[in-house]
């Protein structure tokens, strides 16, 4: 492409760089056909099982009362070997690494079961809620797996491109003119800057639409779940690579006090821990 004036055109030489540029500039990108049909069926079956267990545990009316219905939360806790495939996909992590450009942790992994027009995710929001400020670096990245078709009829995710640069909601007229509702096939992924304004669409056909949202954040932001403290996961820490330990938060523990801080440093250095006298 030709240009004139003092312009320096960026050159993307690989898959990850192209997708990372799209997220940096307009706020989102789409990757096609990441999951196989077999994977999709396994994920959906397990998610429905997990949600059934959570409904039985908390109560259907109670979940409705707190606007928590049709969300299967913290699914990694229930089947690590299955759902880690969504987190540690090397191609996806390469893109996330180019966006955050430092170490990052997994904040959440939730499945959304969109069944009707009144899903609570249908309001415009950011996935760092109430943080309406501008930042010259990306703080958080969402990786949303579509397990069912995302269409206008099924209530696919609506995006307002470039809105990670807005401190306030624009007018309804601006939103209607500029909003996008990308079509996704089962197995596709939507990657977006968590600060972009987005919402679930209205599911007009009544057919359940399942997706899985994975959010990666900079370590100074408090994650939604402390995966490093969840029993089935923390007991397997010896299996994890250094990158996996970073992402699951093992290398960014919550510190209680001065003694805990220094013992954490001693542990990382392979030294004997300080013991408090009773």
Alpha-carbon distances of 48 from 70, 94, 104, 110, 165, rounded to whole Å: 10, 30, 29, 12, 37
| Inter-residue contact 12 to 6 (CB < 8 Å) | no
Q: Which domains does the chain have, with CATH numbers?
A: 15-252 (2.60.120.620)
Number of H helices, E strands in the chain: 9, 8
| Predicted confidence band of residue 21 (pLDDT cuts 50, 70, 90) | very high
- The predicted pLDDT at position 120 comes to 65
Per the structure block, which two tokens stand in for 63? 């979940």
pLDDT of residue 276: 76
- pLDDT reading at 188 higher than 60: yes
Are 106 and 248 in contact, with CB atoms under 8 Å apart? yes
58-76 pLDDT tens trace: 999 999 999 899 999 999 9
Over residues 86-114, the pLDDT tens digits come to 999 999 999 999 999 999 999 999 999 99
Q: Mean of the pLDDT values across residues 136-151?
A: 97
Contact 219, 252 (CB under 8 A): yes
Q: What is the rounded CA–CA span in Å between residue 130 and residue 189?
A: 25
Q: How far is residue 34's CA from residue 108's CA, in Å, rounded to a whole number?
A: 20
H-helix or E-strand spanning residue 62: helix 60-65
Angle between helices 90-100 and 15-26 (to 10 degrees): 50
Look up residue 35 and give its two tokens.
Answer: 């999951």
């Amino acid at each position: 492409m030709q240009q004139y004036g003092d312009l320096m055109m960026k050159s993307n030489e690989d898959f990850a760089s192209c997708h990372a540029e799209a997220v940096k500039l307009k706020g989102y990108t789409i990757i096609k056909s990441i999951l196989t049909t077999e994977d999709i069926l396994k994920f959906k079956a397990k998610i429905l099982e997990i949600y059934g267990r959570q409904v039985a545990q908390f109560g259907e009316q109670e979940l409705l009362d707190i606007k928590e219905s049709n969300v299967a939360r913290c699914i990694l806790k229930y089947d690590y070997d299955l759902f880690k495939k969504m987190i540690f996909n090397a191609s996806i992590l390469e893109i996330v690494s180019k966006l955050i450009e430092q170490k990052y942790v997994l904040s959440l992994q939730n499945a959304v079961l969109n069944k009707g027009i009144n899903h609570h995710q249908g309001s415009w929001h950011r996935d760092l809620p109430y943080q309406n400020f501008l930042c010259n670096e990306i703080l958080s990245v969402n990786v949303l797996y579509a397990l069912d078709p995302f269409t206008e009829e099924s209530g696919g995710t609506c995006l307002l491109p470039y809105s990670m640069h807005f401190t306030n909601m624009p007018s309804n007229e601006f939103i209607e003119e500029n909003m996008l509702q990308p079509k996704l096939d089962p197995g596709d992924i939507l990657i977006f800057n968590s600060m972009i304004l987005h919402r679930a669409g209205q599911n007009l056909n009544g057919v359940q639409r399942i997706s899985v949202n994975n959010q990666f954040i900079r370590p100074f932001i408090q994650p939604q779940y402390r995966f490093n403290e969840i029993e089935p996961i923390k007991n397997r820490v010896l299996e994890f690579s250094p990158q996996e330990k970073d992402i699951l938060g093992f290398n960014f523990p919550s510190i209680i006090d001065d003694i805990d801080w220094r013992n954490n440093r001693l542990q990382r250095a392979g030294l004997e821990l300080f013991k408090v006298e009773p």
